[in-house]
Amino acid sequence: MPSVQGIGLQFNPTVVDDLGWERFGECPIDFAEVLIDTFVAPLDCRFLLDPQARGLLEVVADRYPLLAHSNYGGEFGFDPLEETAAVRRHVPFVRSIESPFVADHLFYGAPSTSHIWSSPLQFSHREIARVADRAAALQDLLEVPLLHEDVFFYAAFAGSDIAAAEFVAGVAERAGTFLLLDLHNVYANSINHAGFSSEAYLATIPLERVLEIHIAGGQWLDGWYHDFHNGPVPEPVWHMLQTVLSRAHNVRGVVLEIQGPAHNPRSRRTDPTWVDMACDDLRRARQLWLNSGRVD
């Protein structure tokens, strides 16, 4: 079983293409988080892995333990679960790399995968029941813990009538699943939405179910703070990380996300300074990890 413990970096193709993965070799990381959809084959062919991506996966696997991360599984849409990419591609991929757990996102899945990030789940009790039942079924298929990552959203989905934190907690507790706490999403939502309190969020979710933490930076545009993963980790996120590491005792890893322009044409472009930016953030994350009493 690969050891996934400590500080990780998300292997994002937008950065890999622009800067090259090897440039991050100086960054102090213990494992690599790989985006499953970068490596799996399309649903309309017989392969599990994209033949072209297999070599890249082997290169990364030779160097680091791998942790799988799901973006476009579509498990929380309204199509039958067994027809989704989550079941048809992500489950076998997670097994093939022996990922110790895998995280997904609380968005509506649809055949049009680009819709996902603009379609957060409705925060409601009825959706807790529907989503949790699908999550439990998926976790059974995965045979490893399934983590749900909290969402960044521009507006709560139509019909939402409970708080985001209550929804996240409700899903995980009903399904018996776990959490990936994205602290930058929590921070960005607290900036953009009156009434969204980071402190209240952290006080509501079951921290004992948090197995992984994401940190990242973002960008201001037109009066909104966007979760573009294209800047240094903000100070309030560091403060939250310190707090959570002292309270959440089951955390296995902290992962830094960095990403080139993928959501908006005005998102900052990657440049070589991002390597130092990432390394600085990873060193600081490791220091907080050690300060929390965890071993190197």
Partner 1 sequence: MRQLDAADCHRVWREVIADERLFEALLDRHPVPRPPVPLMRPGDDAILETLAADTAALRWNVLNLRFRASLDTMLKLRRWMPLTTCLLTAGHDDWLQDLCYEYLSRHRWDDLGHRHFAECRRFTAFIEDQVRGRRTLPDHFETVLAYEASVCAMLEESAHVPDAAWGPEIDPGGPIGTRRPRPGPLTRLLELPVDITAWITAGAPTEDEVGAGPLTLLAFVPRREETFWVIPLDANQQLVFERCSGRTTADQIAGALERQAAFHAPDVLALVGAWVRHGALALD
Q: Which residues here bind partner 1, judged by CB under 8 A?
A: 41-52, 54, 72, 74, 77-78, 85, 89, 108, 110-115, 117-119, 121-122, 124, 126-127, 130, 154-155, 157-159, 161, 224, 226, 261-265
Nearer to partner 1, 87 or 146 (CB): 87
What minimum distance in Å lies between the beta carbon of 92 and partner 1?
11
What minimum distance in Å lies between the beta carbon of 228 and partner 1?
10
Q: Tell me the C-alpha distance between 36 and 59, whole Å.
A: 15
Burial class of residue 25 in the structure, from the number of CB atoms within 10 Å of its CB (0-12 exposed, 13-18 middle, 19+ buried)? exposed
What minimum distance in Å lies between the beta carbon of 225 and partner 1?
11
- Cα–Cα distances (Å) from 75 to 13, 72, 89, 216, 261, in that order, read 23, 8, 12, 25, 26
What minimum distance in Å lies between the beta carbon of 176 and partner 1?
22
Nearer to partner 1, 195 or 293 (CB): 195
What minimum distance in Å lies between the beta carbon of 178 and partner 1?
23
Nearer to partner 1, 36 or 240 (CB): 36
Nearer to partner 1, 124 or 230 (CB): 124
For tokens 């292997």, what's the residue? 11
For tokens 């609380």, what's the residue? 106
Nearer to partner 1, 76 or 289 (CB): 76
- Closest to 4 measured CA to CA, from 103, 152, 138: 103
Q: Are strands 66-69 and 31-35 parallel, antiparallel or unpaired?
A: parallel
SS3 call for 19 = helix
